[in-house]
Amino acid sequence: MSLYGMMRTGVSGMNAQANRLSAVADNIANSDTTGYKRSSAEFSTLIMPGTGGAYNSGGVTTTIRSAVSTQGVMTYTTSVSDLAVNGDGFFVVQDAGGTPYLTRAGSFVPDAQGRLVNAAGYQLMAYSYANGDPAATANGFEGLVPVQISDQQMTATPSTEGLFSGNLPAGATPPSGPPPSSNSATAEYTSKTSLVAYDNLGNKKLLDVYFTNTGAGTWEVSVFDQSKATAGTSFPYTGGALGSANLTFDTTTGKLTGTPDSVSFTVPGGSTLDLDLSQLTQLGTGFTVADAKVNGNAPSSIQKVQIGQDGVIYAQFEDGSTKALYKIPLADVQSPDNLTAMPGNVYVQSTDSGAVHIGFANEGKLGSIVSGALENSNVDIAEELTNMIAAQRSYTANSKVFQTGSDLMDVLVNLKR
The pLDDT tens digits of the residues spanning 342-394 come to 999 999 999 999 999 999 999 989 999 999 999 999 999 999 999 999 999 99
Contact 289, 168 (CB under 8 A): no
Mean pLDDT of 40-45: 88
Cα–Cα dist 126/131, whole Å: 13
Contact 275, 263 (CB under 8 A): yes
Cα–Cα dist 222/304, whole Å: 37
Percent of the chain with pLDDT over 70: 97
**Cβ neighbours for 309, distance < 8 A, ≥ 6 positions apart:** 361, 362, 368, 369, 370, 371
Opening angle at CA 94, ends 139 and 335, nearest 5: 50
This prediction has a pTM of 0.68
User: How many Cα neighbours within 13 Å face the side chain of 15?
Assistant: 11
Contact 209, 193 (CB under 8 A): yes
Whether the pLDDT of residue 1 is over 60: the answer is no
- CA nearest 355: which of 109, 84, 30, 138? 138
Residues in the chain, total: 417
Mean pLDDT of 189-210: 95
Percent of the chain with pLDDT over 90: 70
234 Rama sector, left if φ>0, alpha if ψ -120 to 50, beta otherwise: left
Q: What is the structure's pLDDT at 247? A: 96
Lowest mean pLDDT among 46-50, 188-192, 304-308: 46-50
> Does domain 159-295 correspond to CATH entry 2.102.10.10?
no
Q: What is the structure's pLDDT at 402? A: 84
Mean pLDDT of 271-298: 94
Tell me the pLDDT of the chain averaged across its residues: 90
pLDDT tier, 140 (very low <50, low <70, confident <90, very high otherwise): confident
Q: What is the structure's pLDDT at 151? A: 64
Q: What is the structure's pLDDT at 417? A: 61
Q: What is the structure's pLDDT at 74? A: 93
User: How many Cα neighbours within 13 Å face the side chain of 319?
Assistant: 15
The residue with greater pLDDT, 245 or 46, is 245
Mean pLDDT of 13-24: 92
Whether the pLDDT of residue 229 is over 90: the answer is yes
Lowest mean pLDDT among 5-9, 102-106, 160-164, 244-248: 5-9
Contact 402, 7 (CB under 8 A): yes
Residue 60's φ and ψ, nearest 5 degrees, are -140, 140
User: How many Cα neighbours within 13 Å face the side chain of 247?
Assistant: 27
**Cβ neighbours for 144, distance < 8 A, ≥ 6 positions apart:** 92, 100, 125, 126, 127, 137, 329
Digit-coded pLDDT (tens) for 163-184: 999 999 999 999 999 999 999 9
> Would you kindly state where each structural domain of the chain is located, as residue ranges?
3-67+378-413, 75-149+328-334+342-375, 159-295
